[in-house]
A and B are shown apart, each in its own frame.
Chain A
Amino acid sequence: MLAALAAPLIAPHDPYAQDVSRRLIPPIWQAKGTWDHVLGTDKLGRDYLSRLLYGGQISLLIGISAALISGLIGTVLGLCAGYFGGWVDSVVSYIVTTRLAMPVVLVALAMAALVGGSLKVVVLVLGFLLWDRFAVVTRAATQQIRNQDFVSAARAAGLTDLRIIRQEILPNIMNALIVVATLEMAHAILLEAALSFLGLGVQPPLPSWGLMIAEGKQYMFFQPWVITIPGVALLLLVLAINLLGDGLRDITAPEARN
């Protein structure tokens, strides 16, 4: 992750600089590898390591921004449902059920096709699709807290609903939200990879790991590193984010571990 963030500092080459006469150089551990291109070059002779680093940056960017957008939507809905209950709760539950009934990949693909795939579109589409878990978790957590003494006390003191939500409830459900955020970040990164793989995600020449797998697919039989490297990178990144989430959950709510 750090490496991806520091990409501009440590990348040995410009990730967009192509040289078709130096294409498909194998990585260093193979017979024809060179130190000039540690992970070799891709089909257009671009340095693979540099693209991998920049690609990681883009995958992270997508994961974080999509999680932020969906977190905002989901938390607001979940807070309303959990805090006010009654018909607000019913309406929110109904919206969540409707959202769950829409096949995510299909709707995301269709939207990307209508508007035209680009980094911005992918982030927005994923952000608007992945808020369901935020809403469900926030609603449950808010319901638990709503009737506790300190909330009743705040209400008795005449605080407005908005202030109660902001000052009393939100800080108490933050931990749960962060855990969901890590999960959704991982989810968004994987979905972006799938969209790019189907050709409707991030558009070339931007590198994203999903796109790199899609491009490397052509070489999977004879130059397998082209597809293995971004695949393993993506796996490790998502694994790291998931474990981070699990770790956070263990620290913040040990009793929920089982």
Chain B
Amino acid sequence: MLAFTFRRVLVALAVALTVSVASFLLLHLSGDLATAIAGPEATGPQIAQIRQDYGLDQPLLTQFLTWGWRALHLDFGNSFYFRESVIDLLAARLPITLYLGIIALAVALFVAIPLGVVAAVKRDTWIDRTALAVSVLGQAMPSFWFGLTLILIFSVNLRWLPVSGNATWKNFVLPAVALGYYAMPAVMRLTRNGMLEVLASDYVRTARAKGLPPRKILVRHALRNAVIPVIALSAVQFGFMLGGSIVIEAVFSLQGLGQLAWESIARNDFPVVQAIVLVLAMIYIGLTLAADLLNAFLDPRLRQA
């Protein structure tokens, strides 16, 4: 287990390094940084001064090392647009996206796991087929269109929930449903398949033979085993959701990380974009690492991989 953990952490670190190189290059591909920092009215000598002050006249490798060293210390420089430090901006916006992601995941799990279980138990009945249809629909629907439709129905027509902003938990209901629905099909299919596998396994058969009540078998034996891979998948889905929330945040005017990223892209504010790419990637790497280790811990067979 120790060797496995070590190997996985090493891979995660290597991936993190590659992602940082990629996001570093992203900023440097976006044009002459000195001109961007200096602003539109700067003169030639001023730009040259800034180039020197910011170390932009150094070789790219030196610049990367300096940048990486600072990033390690949570210093991503200043936003071109707001002229305040990027990390402050991120700290203000990240909680909203995290909160949205957590609720969306909760919504997805609360719907998908029971649906998956029922679909497995009532295999090949109309319930199974409906569950499948719901999940296929979830994959086929553009999430922003779904979000807009939710606004139209629940905010404008029924007036049950607010349209935009992040003032209370109510503001998060619709975006979380829109985001969670997209993650639901994968969780449902995995639960269903896991349940089918476990229900067909020897020990469930033994339990049945012993005459245990079906409900007890289902919850205590089958579900517990089937849910393990789902937890790992959830970690990965959570990472995807943080990255995918950009569209949902735009629809619901939620001032989270995604909205900040989108606006920063439109404003050519690349230090912010770069930091967001890096932060999201790091969260994803951390989550998959945790999921891998959890899986390996629970299922020793996987440690060979």
> In the complex, what distance in Å separates the CA atom of A227 from the CA atom of B142?
12
With A217-B148, A242-B140 already in contact, the answer to whether A198 and B250 are too (CB < 8 A) is yes
Assembled-state Cα–Cα distance A103/B280 (Å)? 7
Set A97, A103, A109, A198: member contacting B15, Cβ < 8 A: A97
- Counting chain A residues whose Cβ lies within 8 A of the other chain, the interface size class is 35 or more
B145 touches A (CB below 8 Å): yes
Residues of A within 8 A of B137 (CB): 235, 239
Given the interface contacts A109-B265, A258-B193, does A235 sit within 8 Å of B141 by beta carbon?
yes
Known contacts A109-B246, A199-B266; is-contact A94 B14 (Cβ 8 Å)? yes
Residues on A with C-beta less than 8 A from B284 are: 100-101, 103
CB pair A105–B156 under 8 Å, yes or no, is no
- Of B18-26, B50-58, B65-73, B165-173, the one contacting chain A is B18-26
The residue of chain A having its C-beta at the shortest distance from the C-beta of B141 within the complex is A235
Interface of B is mostly: helix
Selected contact of B11 from candidates A97, A100, A231, CB within 8 Å: A97
Across-interface contacts of A243 in B (CB, < 8 A): 136
CB of B18 within 8 A of CB of A231, answer no
Please tell me which one of the listed residues B11, B141, B148, B277 contacts residue A102 in the complex, with CB atoms under 8 A apart. B277
- Chain B residues closer than 8 Å to A227, beta-carbon distance: 145, 148
Bound CA–CA A212/B171 (angstroms): 27
Q: Cβ of B139 < 8 Å from any Cβ of A?
A: yes
Given contacts A94-B14, A102-B19, A107-B277, A198 and B262 within 8 Å (CB-CB): yes
The answer, yes or no, to whether A213 is at the interface (CB within 8 Å) is yes
A194 and B18 contact, CB distance less than 8 A: no
What CA separation (Å) do A224 and B243 show in the bound complex? 29
CA distance A23 to B261 in the complex (A): 35
What is the distance, in angstroms, from A10's C-beta to the closest C-beta of chain B? 25
Q: How far is A232 from B18 in the complex, measured between Cα atoms in Å?
A: 40
Of residues 227 through 260 on chain B, the ones whose CB sits less than 8 Å from some CB of chain A are 242-244, 246-247, 250, 258
Does A190 have its Cβ within 8 Å of any Cβ on chain B? yes
Interface pair A231/B145, CB less than 8 Å apart: yes
| B247 partner, pick from A114, A198, A234, A239, beta carbons under 8 A | A198
Nearest chain B CB to A216 CB, angstrom units: 9
Whether A231 contacts B142 by the Cβ 8 Å rule is yes
Within 8 Å CB of A190, what residues of B?
Answer: 140, 142
Question: CB of A186 within 8 A of chain B?
Answer: yes
Report the minimal beta-carbon distance from A239 to chain B, rounded to whole angstroms: 4
Contacts of A103 in B (CB 8 A): 242-244, 246, 277, 280-281, 284
Tell me if A221 and B266 are in contact (CB < 8 A).
Answer: no
CB distance from A254 to the nearest CB of B (A): 14
Judge whether B140 and A197 touch: CB under 8 Å: no
B143 at the interface (CB under 8 A from A): yes
Q: Is the pair B19, A98 in contact by a Cβ cutoff of 8 Å?
A: yes
Closest to B142 in A: A193
Q: Does A106 contact B (CB under 8 A)?
A: yes
B144 proximity list for chain A (CB < 8 A): 193-194, 197, 213
* Contact A101–B19 (Cβ < 8 Å): yes
Please indicate the chain B residues that have their CB under 8 angstroms from the CB of A193 in the complex. Answer: 142, 144-145
- CB of A239 within 8 A of CB of B136, answer yes
Residues of A within 8 A of B102 (CB): none
Do the beta carbons of A106 and B247 come within 8 Å of each other?
A: no
B246 touches A238 (CB 8 A): no
Interfacial chain A residues near B247, Cβ < 8 Å? 105, 194, 197-198
Q: Point out the residues of chain B lying under 8 angstroms from A238, CB to CB.
A: 139-141
Instruction: Name the CB-closest residue of A to B268.
Output: A113
* Distance A227 CA – B268 CA, assembled complex (angstroms): 30
Asked if A200 lies at the interface with its beta carbon under 8 angstroms from chain B, I say: yes
In whole Å, how far is B89's beta carbon from the nearest beta carbon of chain A?
15
Q: Which residues of B contact A109 (CB under 8 A)?
A: 246, 261-262, 265
Any chain B CB within 8 A of the CB of A110? yes
Q: How far is the CA of A224 from the CA of B149 in the complex (A)?
A: 10
> Chain A residue with minimal CB distance to B196?
A258
Q: Which 8 A-B pairs have the closest CB atoms?
A: A103-B243, A238-B140, A239-B140, A231-B145, A101-B281, A103-B280, A113-B265, A98-B18
- Taking A103-B244, A217-B148 as known contacts, 4 extra A-B pairs with beta carbons closer than 8 A to each other, sorted by chain A number, are A103-B246, A103-B284, A106-B276, A221-B156
Q: B-side interface residues toward A, CB under 8 Å?
A: 11, 14-16, 18-19, 22, 26, 29-30, 136-137, 139-145, 148-149, 152, 156, 193, 196, 242-244, 246-247, 250, 258, 261-262, 265-266, 268, 273, 276-277, 280-281, 284-285, 288
Would you list 13 pairs from A and B whose C-beta atoms are within 8 A, ordered by A residue?
A97-B15, A101-B285, A107-B277, A109-B261, A109-B262, A110-B26, A186-B139, A221-B156, A238-B141, A242-B140, A246-B136, A258-B193, A258-B196
